[in-house]
Amino acid sequence: MALSKIRVFPISAFGGDGYPTLGNPVKPMTPGSGETEVNNIKLSIKKVIKTKTLNADDQEEEHNTVVALDGSITVYCADATFLEKVLPCTKDTNGNLHFYAGVQEAKNVCIFAEGKNEKGKKFQVWIYCCQFKPFDEDFETETDSDAQIELPFKGLVITAGGKNRTHARVYEGNTGYVSGEPTTSSLYKEPAASQ
Taken in order 123, 30, 19, 70, the sign of the CA dihedral is positive
Identity of residue 22: L
Q: What is the pLDDT of residues 98-138, one digit of tens each?
A: 888 877 788 999 999 999 888 889 999 999 999 998 777 76
Q: What is the pLDDT of residues 159-171, one digit of tens each?
A: 998 899 999 999 9
Determine which helix (DSSP H) or strand (DSSP E) holds 50, and give its type and residue range. Answer: strand 40-56
Burial class of residue 181 in the structure, from the number of CB atoms within 10 Å of its CB (0-12 exposed, 13-18 middle, 19+ buried): exposed
What is the pLDDT at residue 139? 65
Long-range Cβ contacts of 92-101 (<8 Å, 24+ apart):
99/134
What is the pLDDT at residue 99? 86
Q: What is the pLDDT of residues 5-52, one digit of tens each?
A: 899 999 999 999 999 999 999 988 776 666 666 677 888 999 998 888
Contact 122, 115 (CB under 8 A): yes
39 C-beta neighbours (distance < 10 Å), count? 19
Mean pLDDT confidence for 59-72: 86
What is the pLDDT at residue 108? 95
Q: What is the pLDDT of residues 84-103, one digit of tens each?
A: 888 888 889 998 988 888 77
